[in-house]
């Protein structure tokens, strides 16, 4: 029994689905026109952009056919008495412009994303917005000059702006939804897999459906009020509806935020078309674009916070042992020492290192040495209190600052760490792990530098005395 390869059929079915969805979106934009050839947005733009973003130029034939078919469908709707040849030329010109420019934009965005070194949502959002604004402007300018009466058009400015903002709002609002759709269709082409962030979720928050309802109700009230009073000033209140959208962004998943934005866009286009408030349409269009940009930047905030936390971690903590770096340790220790002087508190400094670490590192390799460093650091961190300061001076040498701790207690802490380290298993059989310690008080007069010098001398004394012991200085 032979196995049948269904891949070509599956690919054909997806391209057919792409064609049908594109045409349905085009028809929907026609239904939502508030004036002849004027709608709040043009949803097929987002589908074209996303299809080429994922499939490359393989999607161009399907999208071009859709553009030509939409031209014939437009003739059927408006009955402008153009012949088939004229329609074919107009459809092909539209396809070349629409698919060509948005295809180039999609490929530029994909290339730009692949070159991002610090991969986060903010980097992707910035590049997407730039490509979106530039590509929609090019299409609107070129299309107005080629498909209409060019510079002689009496409505050149109005046509150009309406085309630009309509395409841009459609791309801004619906591209994330289509990206989610294509990621399900083509999981192997998920080029955004590097972007991750966990949304802020409030357990006592309102249900998602309630938030959507409040957002749409606010839009409906604003739209009807603007229509009834014929007031552009009232229409401007639509910008305040960014607040419920931001509420959704900060309390729901990114997919839920994208769905709410798409629903808001469809509702806005439908209400403007139904009420026929064409004189205020630009206000709603700009509000939709602003809301989309705000949504994406707000979604990027958790990613930026995550990046900042990582940078802080790298700057202040040793990557191997997770102890404070030398610079960070002494900066924080200086502040604690000043505080101790102010409140007349005792403070103790411990300096220790691993006995014969260089020999172990050279004999058994750096991997064994690194594991030993991590194990010793874990032991020291376990013994220390949360208020204690634990840092890595360099190599195998560590520092511990014990606030509000007299010298005698500091010596006991050092002994506790020494015994705990001694119970660790060695890197290989027959090799034991041990540490030598130097302990000194942080005196108000001499300060931290003098305490480090005294503790370091005691560490050398412990080494000379046979290692694996604690030495301390009274002065």
The C-alpha atoms of residue 250 and residue 196 are separated, in whole angstroms, by 15
Pick the catalytic residue from 167, 318, 353, 396: 396
Enumerate the H helices of 343-365 as residue ranges: 357-364
Closest CA to 69 of 45, 94, 51: 94
- Burial class from Cβ neighbours inside 10 Å (0-12, 13-18, 19+) for residue 342 reads exposed
Nearest-5° angle of CA 178, CA 183, CA 189?
125
**Sign of the dihedral through C-alpha 241, 246, 248, 253:** positive
Contact of 369 with 360, CB cutoff 8 Å: yes
**C-alpha 217, offset from chain centre:** 30
Q: Which long-range contacts (CB under 8 A, 24 or more apart) does 337-340 make?
A: 337/442, 337/447, 337/448, 339/403, 340/403, 340/404, 340/442, 340/444
Q: What DSSP line would sit under 54-81, residue for residue?
A: HHGGGGHHHHHHHHHHHHHHHHHHH---
The C-alpha atoms of residue 248 and residue 443 are separated, in whole angstroms, by 55
**In the annotation, is 456 catalytic?**
no
Q: Identify the H or E element spanning 223.
A: helix 208-229
The C-alpha atoms of residue 416 and residue 460 are separated, in whole angstroms, by 20
Contact of 389 with 439, CB cutoff 8 Å: no
Structural tokens at position 425 = 């298993």
Q: For residue 99, how many C-alpha atoms fall within 13 Å in the half-sphere facing its CB?
A: 23
Ramachandran category for residue 14: left, alpha or beta (phi over 0 → left; psi -120 to 50 → alpha): alpha
Catalytically active residues, by annotation:
396
């Amino acid at each position: 029994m032979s196995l049948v390869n269904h891949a070509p059929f599956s690919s054909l079915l997806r391209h057919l689905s792409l064609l049908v969805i594109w045409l349905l979106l085009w028809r929907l934009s026609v239904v939502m026109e508030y004036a002849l050839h004027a709608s709040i947005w043009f949803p097929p733009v987002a589908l074209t952009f996303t299809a080429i973003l994922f499939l490359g130029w393989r999607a161009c034939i399907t999208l071009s056919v859709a553009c030509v078919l939409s031209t014939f469908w437009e003739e059927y709707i408006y009955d402008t008495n153009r012949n088939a040849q004229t329609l074919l030329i107009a459809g092909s010109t539209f396809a070349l412009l629409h698919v060509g420019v948005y295809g180039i934009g999609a490929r530029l965005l994909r290339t730009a994303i692949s070159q991002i070194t610090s991969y986060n949502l903010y980097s992707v959002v910035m590049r997407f917005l730039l490509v979106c604004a530039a590509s929609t402007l090019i299409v609107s300018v070129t299309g107005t000059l080629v498909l209409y009466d060019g510079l002689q058009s009496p409505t050149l400015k109005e046509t150009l702006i309406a085309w630009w903002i309509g395409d841009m709002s459609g791309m801004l609002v619906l591209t994330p939804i289509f990206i989610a759709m294509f990621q399900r269709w083509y999981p192997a082409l998920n080029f955004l897999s590097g972007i991750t962030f966990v949304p802020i979720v409030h357990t006592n928050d309102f249900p998602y459906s309630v938030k959507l309802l409040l957002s749409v109700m606010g839009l409906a009230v604003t739209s009807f009020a603007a229509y009834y009073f014929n007031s552009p000033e009232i229409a401007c209140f639509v910008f305040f509806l960014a607040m419920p959208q931001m509420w959704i962004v900060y309390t729901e998943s990114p997919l839920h935020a994208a769905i709410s934005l798409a629903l808001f866009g469809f509702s806005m286009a439908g209400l403007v078309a139904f009420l026929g408030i064409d004189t205020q349409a630009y206000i709603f269009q700009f509000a939709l674009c602003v809301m989309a940009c705000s949504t994406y930047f707000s979604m990027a905030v958790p990613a930026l916070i995550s990046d900042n936390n990582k940078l802080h971690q790298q700057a202040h903590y040793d990557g191997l042992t997770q102890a404070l770096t030398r610079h960070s340790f002494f900066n924080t220790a200086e502040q604690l020492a000043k505080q101790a002087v102010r409140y007349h508190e005792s403070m103790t400094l411990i300096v220790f290192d691993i006995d014969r670490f260089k020999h172990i590192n050279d004999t058994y390799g750096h991997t064994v040495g690194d594991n030993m460093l991590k194990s010793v650091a874990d032991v020291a961190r376990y013994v220390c209190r949360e208020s204690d300061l634990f840092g890595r001076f360099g190599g195998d040498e560590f520092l511990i600052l014990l606030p509000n701790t007299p010298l005698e207690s500091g010596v006991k802490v050092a002994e506790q760490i020494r015994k705990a380290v001694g119970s660790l298993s060695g890197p290989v059989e027959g090799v034991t792990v041990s540490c030598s310690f130097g302990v000194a008080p942080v005196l108000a007069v001499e300060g931290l530098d003098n305490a480090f010098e005294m503790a370091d001398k005691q560490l050398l004394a412990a080494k000379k005395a046979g290692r694996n012991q604690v030495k301390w200085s009274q002065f």
